[in-house]
Amino acid sequence: MSAESAVLEAALRKAAYAISGDNREARLKDTDSGMFDIVTSSDLKAEKTIIDTILSHFPGDAIISEETRSDAEETGRFWAVDPIDGTVNYSRRIPLYGIQIVFCENHEPKASGIYLPEYGELYTADASGAFLNGRPIRTARPRPLRECIMSTGDFSRKSESFRKAQASLFSRCYDDVARFKVFGAACTDFAFLASGRTDIHIRFTNKIWDYLPGLYLAETAGAVYDRKLLKEKKCLILCSSEEVLAEAKVKILPSLLPFLRHHLLLPPIMTR
């Protein structure tokens, strides 16, 4: 285990402990668009715990974090932190939430971790592989699309095009997969796919702390995706195997293309 991986794991555990007995009362964030978004005191406490832990070992590293360091630059050695992913779930005592961190060097992910406190599940990934509580994990075996479980991100609060695309997934692809799931937290989506519980995850990516910790974990566990689609359109179709991805691109992607084709090109995002 690298020094960064050890610090990452320690930061996740300390943050989970810091919020274990907290009051979960939420308040609305101030947003430019007036969209529904919330924060709790636990988000801020977990974030401070993580930042303090990282900087105590690597004082020269940059940290990008959702609540207080969202505008930090992605250069050199940096860490991206989501102190509580799935804050709505957390505030309502729905157990599908987590803490996630990724460490990058020169725009290349080197280590990531997701901790799901309610389940006592610590997912980690680095050059040595992907693990759940220290045991190696792999994505699910290839299976026909109609036998696959697919999860999607929450409906977009910012983009009408993305909301319509997500609605299209439900209406047009209902018969193509076995089940749809909406867990309400990216950490859960990525962790469940990486550990073989689901087969496909589709989301529209935005902030680096939302997608990169889980994407690196899932890819290290064997997941595959269309890099061009992600980079140019911020649309991630993440699958457990090449076979599932090939069928998904034939049967699922066409339902998204009309919306993506008319959506303005967005700034490129980081991929491996």
Q: Give the pLDDT of the chain (272 residues) as one tens digit per residue.
A: 789 999 999 999 999 998 887 666 666 655 444 444 556 778 788 999 999 999 999 999 999 987 776 666 777 899 999 999 998 898 889 999 999 999 999 889 999 999 999 999 999 999 999 999 999 999 999 999 999 999 987 655 566 666 666 676 677 777 889 898 999 999 999 999 999 999 999 988 878 999 999 999 999 999 999 998 888 888 899 999 999 999 999 998 887 777 666 554 444 455 55
The verdict on residue 57 lying in a domain is yes
Confidence (pLDDT) at 162: 64
Joined together, the tokens standing for residue 31 give 């947003």
Give SS3 for 264.
coil
Last residue of a domain, one of 111, 136, 161: 136
Query: How confident is the model at residue 256, as a pLDDT?
Result: 76
- At 206 the pLDDT is 76
> Do residues 232 and 174 touch, judged by C-beta distance below 8 A?
no
87, 119, 136 - which closes a domain: 136
State residue 32's pLDDT score. 44
Query: Does one domain contain both 100 and 159?
Result: no
Domain match, 35 and 61 both: yes
Residues 101 and 220 in one domain: no
* Residue 65 three-state SS: strand
Nearest of 201, 215, 190 to residue 245 by alpha carbon: 201
Coil, strand, or helix at residue 180? strand
pLDDT at residue 40 in the model: 73
Q: Quote the CA–CA distance of 132 and 130 in Å, as a whole number.
A: 7
Is 269 a member of any domain? no
Q: Domain of 29?
A: 3-136
What backbone phi and psi angles, to 5 degrees, belong to 172? -95, -25
Distance of CA 110 to the CA centre of its chain: 16
CB 169 within 8 A of CB 153: no
CB atoms within 10 A of CB 92: 12
CA dist., res. 166 & res. 219, Å (int): 23
| Number of domains, the chain | 2
Residue 267, pLDDT score: 45
My answer on whether 153 and 249 are in the same domain is yes
Between strands 149-152 and 179-181, the pairing is: parallel
Q: Which residues contact 69 (CB under 8 A, 6 or more apart)?
A: 51, 63, 81
Report how far residue 101's alpha carbon sits from residue 124's, in angstroms, rounded to the nearest whole number.
10
| Ramachandran category for residue 34: left, alpha or beta (phi over 0 → left; psi -120 to 50 → alpha) | left
